[in-house]
């Protein structure tokens, strides 16, 4: 109860052996002491206290009082409020004094809560209470203001302990107060404390506003169910407790009276409920439904999921007699009353664990669903070893493999050796291994049932046991591949690689057990990638330049990084690597030293970037990619060099006494000579450079004939005589030519 005080009295003993309880005053003995622990709720309430061993530090009612204790109150409303000791039990009544004061210590007549009417705040004895008990008539208080309530004896001569019940009630705020079971009483909100529910000021109990418990709340009012099965919905919300069971403590119960139409085993289940909460089921022979009336073993609190605490209840099998009423209790697990909820109750045939003879699997089912030779165990649930007695060793005579199964599950040609016989160590006879040749020519040592190809009993694998040697297992027999056509082969039939150069990426002295050789001639100088993705085992890829016997390694890869996205991740990828156009490269696609047998070899070549035509300044064309087209050259993606798409180169063309930039082919005609590709022209007055301007006929150096030929062109108005390049033929051109002629230097 709120405000109850428990006092532990230590024992003090003198040297003579006389012992007496030590004096321990209440924790609220001094005004202002432990106020938080002795506060009255803002809506009022009931508290229990004591004056035992209290001292006095206050006064009230004209000073007539003895020892005292204190309580602290901040009202949530103006009231009127009644402060009373009248609820104190008759056997604890004592002569008391009760007063209420403003929030200041010490307590005396100067700080009454109603200074305008001192006696309204203090009472010695109330006529409405047992003799000696006090009660302050209703008075108005200020909401939110702090007050101190003093409880005291009339005089210290009293010998009774002074235990009391203090109530603080708002007499203006009363209404319907709902208790358990739907009981309604009109009382002050101050006295309607949890778990009671106040319905509101001014509400009445007629009609009853309180939620009512289920109709089958009491054992005597159980809902009747008849027949061989039932399926009903229900709830324990607002239910009381009037039963008990043996398997666990429970509360908040409802009841069903089931009258079976035949004597049999029945299952009673809450497993189909839509919400999960800790529930309990028990079956009783009659009311009261307690431990004495419970059917032996018919009680469960989590059978729907034994590994999950708090799950619903399930009684697997309870033997019930035809025509006899049985009381079924549905309750919430635990005594606190917190476990309540809606449920679905189903009653049907008894359940048990059914072990399937075919595979020793287990399900919980009625006996009718577990036909022979399956094994049904009534009232039992499935567990990891429930069906273990049905299992034993089953031997496959062809493979020697032992499996644990049932006699029925050991299908032909298997031989069942008996139940409880383990497979470790294997009791099965083992077949003789041999060589197995698959369709690709690979050989493995296995037993005949595991061979998907041709089995050769008691044989060991040898290089040519499963077929002829691969044609390209030697460098001299390499097979040509191209960008458009890769290679798919099998290394199982390759010759051992002894004598072939050891790949540098495998390690010093690392030799490959088997290899297949390929030849790739790049169509262009570019960066290439060589792939073995799609191979089905660990591979090593090496590229060489040169010829067999004089090989020079240009690249090597053991495992691709990042790994291949198809095939095995440990296949090889080499590149990007720049290969020269027209140069044959030998590729060695081999098995890793870790591979014992061999397998599918897949090789393909791709360019890292688009190929095209690279036009050099001299007009020559080379197939390559953009990265390998030299600076100063022009790259055309996708272009070809046959026919040559590159423009011919320009150079200096000397015609008469002038120089122009053109191609060698265009530099033709009388008095013309091509000075060279890439040469820049010189113009007058620079008479010497790519062209000698005084060498008009460009035949054999400067001579008087050049002068005659210039004058001839001048008088003919030919543009070759415009040495100063003004666009006009004038006498100035004669003077400029003669300047170049006599300056010489050619």
C-beta of residue 661 within 8 angstroms of C-beta of residue 708: no
**pLDDT confidence of residue 394:** 94
Q: Per-residue pLDDT for 21 more than 50?
A: no
Dihedrals phi, psi of 438, to nearest 5 degrees: -90, 180
Lowest-pLDDT range of 90-99, 383-392, 458-467, 588-597: 458-467
Dihedrals phi, psi of 197, to nearest 5 degrees: -125, 120
Nearest to 589 by CA among 601, 581, 605: 601
Confidence of residue 12 (pLDDT cuts 50, 70, 90): very low
CA dist 243 and 161 (Å) reads 39
Mean pLDDT of 573-594: 92
pLDDT tens digits for range 613-668? 999 988 899 999 999 999 989 999 989 998 999 989 999 999 999 999 999 889 99
Instruction: Bin 476: left if φ > 0, else alpha if -120 < ψ < 50, else beta.
Output: alpha
Confidence of residue 397 (pLDDT cuts 50, 70, 90): confident
- Percent residues over pLDDT 70 in the chain: 95
Dihedral through CA 23, CA 29, CA 32, CA 37, nearest 10? 90
CA atoms lying within 13 Å on the CB side of residue 472: 19
Q: Per-residue pLDDT for 108 more than 80?
A: yes
Q: Pick the most confident of 153-162, 239-248, 737-746.
A: 239-248
Instruction: Bin 16: left if φ > 0, else alpha if -120 < ψ < 50, else beta.
Output: alpha
Q: Which residue has the tokens 């405000």?
A: 3
Q: Per-residue pLDDT for 19 more than 50?
A: no
pLDDT tens digits for range 511-534? 888 899 999 999 999 999 999 998
Mean pLDDT of 306-333: 89
Dihedrals phi, psi of 40, to nearest 5 degrees: -90, 135
Q: Per-residue pLDDT for 194 more than 50?
A: yes
C-beta of residue 340 within 8 angstroms of C-beta of residue 332: yes
Q: Name, in order, each residue with C-beta under 8 angstroms of 403's C-beta and a sequence gap of 6 or more.
A: 393, 394, 396, 410, 414, 423
**pLDDT confidence of residue 66:** 87
Helix (H, G, I), strand (E, B) or coil at 227: strand
**pLDDT confidence of residue 231:** 95
Longest dimension (CA), the chain: 164
CA dist 7 and 19 (Å) reads 18
CA dist 329 and 346 (Å) reads 13
CA dist 278 and 301 (Å) reads 7
Helix spans in 21-144 (H): none
Mean pLDDT of 604-608: 91
CA dist 370 and 377 (Å) reads 10
pLDDT tens digits for range 264-293? 999 999 998 988 899 999 999 999 999 999
Q: Which residue has the tokens 């208080």?
A: 141
pLDDT tens digits for range 445-474? 888 888 888 998 888 887 778 888 888 989
CA dist 534 and 630 (Å) reads 36
Confidence of residue 568 (pLDDT cuts 50, 70, 90): confident
CA dist 437 and 461 (Å) reads 9
C-beta of residue 192 within 8 angstroms of C-beta of residue 177: yes
**pLDDT confidence of residue 265:** 92
First to last CA, the chain: 132
CA dist 162 and 96 (Å) reads 9
Put the strands of the sheet holding 184-188 in their side by side order. 184-188, 174-178, 197-201
C-beta of residue 296 within 8 angstroms of C-beta of residue 335: no
Mean pLDDT of 434-444: 85
Confidence of residue 438 (pLDDT cuts 50, 70, 90): confident
DSSP per residue over 585-620, as a string? EEEEEEE-TT-SS--EEEEEEEESS-EEEEE-TTS-
Mean pLDDT of 680-696: 91
Lowest-pLDDT range of 42-56, 68-82, 488-502, 732-746: 488-502
CA dist 425 and 258 (Å) reads 55
**Strands (DSSP E) found in 74-208:** 81-84, 96-102, 122-123, 135-139, 147-153, 163-170, 174-178, 184-188, 197-201
Q: Per-residue pLDDT for 17 more than 60?
A: no
CA dist 610 and 526 (Å) reads 9
Q: Mean pLDDT across the chain, nearest whole number?
A: 88
CA dist 605 and 591 (Å) reads 19
Q: Per-residue pLDDT for 13 more than 60?
A: no
Q: How far is CA 482 from the centre of its chain?
A: 48
* Residue, of 334 and 64, whose pLDDT is higher: 334
Q: Per-residue pLDDT for 92 more than 80?
A: yes
191 exposure class (CB count in 10 Å sphere: 0-12, 13-18, 19+): buried
CA dist 622 and 589 (Å) reads 30
pTM (predicted TM-score): 0.42
pLDDT tens digits for range 332-388? 998 887 889 999 999 999 898 898 888 888 888 888 888 988 888 888 888 888 888
Q: Per-residue pLDDT for 22 more than 70?
A: no
Q: Per-residue pLDDT for 6 more than 70?
A: no
DSSP 459: P
């Amino acid at each position: 109860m709120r405000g109850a005080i428990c006092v532990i009295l230590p024992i003090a003993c003198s040297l003579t052996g006389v012992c007496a309880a030590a004096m321990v005053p209440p924790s609220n003995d001094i005004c202002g002491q432990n106020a938080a622990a002795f506060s009255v709720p803002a809506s009022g309430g009931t508290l229990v206290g004591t004056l035992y061993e209290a001292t006095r530090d206050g006064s009230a009612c004209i000073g007539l009082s003895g020892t005292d204790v204190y309580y602290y109150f901040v009202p949530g409303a103006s009231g009127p409020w009644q402060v009373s000791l009248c609820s104190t039990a008759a056997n604890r009544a004592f002569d008391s004094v009760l007063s209420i004061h403003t929030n200041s210590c010490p307590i005396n007549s100067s700080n009454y809560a109603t200074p305008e009417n001192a006696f309204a705040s203090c009472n010695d004895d109330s006529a409405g209470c047992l003799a000696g008990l006090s009660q302050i008539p209703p008075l108005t208080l200020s909401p939110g203001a702090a007050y101190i309530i003093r409880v005291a004896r009339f005089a210290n001569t009293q010998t009774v302990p002074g235990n009391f019940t203090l109530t603080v009630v708002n007499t203006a705020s009363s209404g319907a107060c709902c208790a358990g079971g739907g009981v309604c009483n009109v009382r002050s909100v101050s006295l309607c404390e949890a778990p009671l529910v106040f319905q509101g000021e001014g509400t009445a109990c007629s009609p009853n506003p309180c939620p009512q418990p289920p109709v089958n709340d009491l054992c005597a009012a159980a809902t009747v169910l008849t027949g061989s099965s039932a399926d009903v919905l229900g709830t324990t919300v607002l239910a009381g407790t009037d039963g008990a069971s043996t398997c666990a403590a429970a509360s908040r119960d409802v009841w069903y009276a089931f009258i079976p139409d035949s004597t049999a085993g029945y299952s009673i289940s809450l497993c189909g409920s839509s919400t999960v909460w800790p529930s309990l089921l028990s079956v009783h022979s009659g009311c009261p439904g307690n431990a004495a009336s419970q059917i032996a073993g018919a009680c469960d609190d989590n059978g729907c999921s034994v590994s999950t605490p708090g799950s619903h209840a399930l009684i697997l099998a309870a033997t019930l007699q035809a025509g006899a009423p049985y009381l079924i209790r549905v309750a919430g697990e635990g005594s606190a009353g917190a476990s309540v909820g809606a449920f679905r109750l189903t009653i049907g045939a008894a359940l048990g664990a059914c072990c399937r003879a075919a595979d020793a699997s287990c399900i919980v089912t009625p006996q009718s669903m577990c036909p022979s030779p399956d094994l049904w165990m009534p009232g039992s649930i499935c567990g990891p070893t429930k069906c273990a007695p049905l299992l034993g060793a089953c031997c496959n005579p062809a493979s020697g493999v032992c499996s644990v199964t049932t006699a029925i599950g050991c299908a032909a040609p298997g031989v069942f050796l008996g139940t409880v016989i383990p497979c470790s160590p294997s009791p099965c006879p083992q077949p003789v291994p041999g060589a197995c040749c698959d369709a690709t020519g690979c050989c493995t040592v296995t037993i005949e049932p595991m061979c998907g190809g041709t089995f050769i009993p008691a044989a060991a694998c040898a290089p040519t046991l499963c077929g002829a040697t691969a044609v390209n297992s030697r460098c001299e027999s390499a097979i040509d591949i191209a960008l458009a056509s890769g290679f798919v082969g099998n290394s199982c039939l390759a010759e051992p690689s002894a004598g072939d150069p050891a790949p540098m990426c495998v390690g010093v002295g690392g030799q490959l057990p088997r290899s297949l050789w390929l030849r790739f001639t790049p169509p262009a100088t570019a960066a290439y990638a060589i792939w073995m993705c799609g191979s089905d085992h660990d591979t090593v890829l090496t590229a060489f330049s040169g010829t067999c016997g004089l090989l020079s390694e240009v690249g090597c890869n053991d495992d691709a990084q990042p790994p291949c996205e198809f095939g095995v991740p440990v296949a090889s990828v080499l590149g990007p690597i720049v290969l020269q156009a027209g140069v044959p490269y030998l590729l060695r696609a081999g098995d890793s030293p870790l591979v014992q047998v061999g397998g599918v070899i897949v090789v393909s070549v791709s360019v890292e970037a688009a190929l095209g035509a690279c036009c050099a300044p001299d007009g020559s064309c080379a197939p390559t990619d953009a990265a390998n087209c030299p600076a100063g050259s022009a790259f055309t993606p996708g272009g070809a060099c046959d026919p040559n798409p590159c423009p011919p180169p320009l150079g200096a063309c000397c015609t008469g006494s002038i120089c122009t930039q053109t191609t060698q082919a265009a530099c033709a005609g009388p008095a013309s000579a091509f000075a060279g590709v890439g040469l820049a022209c010189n113009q007058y007055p620079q008479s010497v450079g790519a062209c000698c301007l005084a060498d008009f006929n460009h035949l054999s150096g400067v001579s008087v004939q050049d002068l005659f030929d210039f004058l001839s062109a001048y008088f003919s108005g030919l543009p070759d005589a415009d040495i100063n390049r003004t666009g006009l033929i004038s006498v100035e051109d004669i003077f400029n030519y003669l300047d170049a002629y006599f300056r010489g230097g050619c």
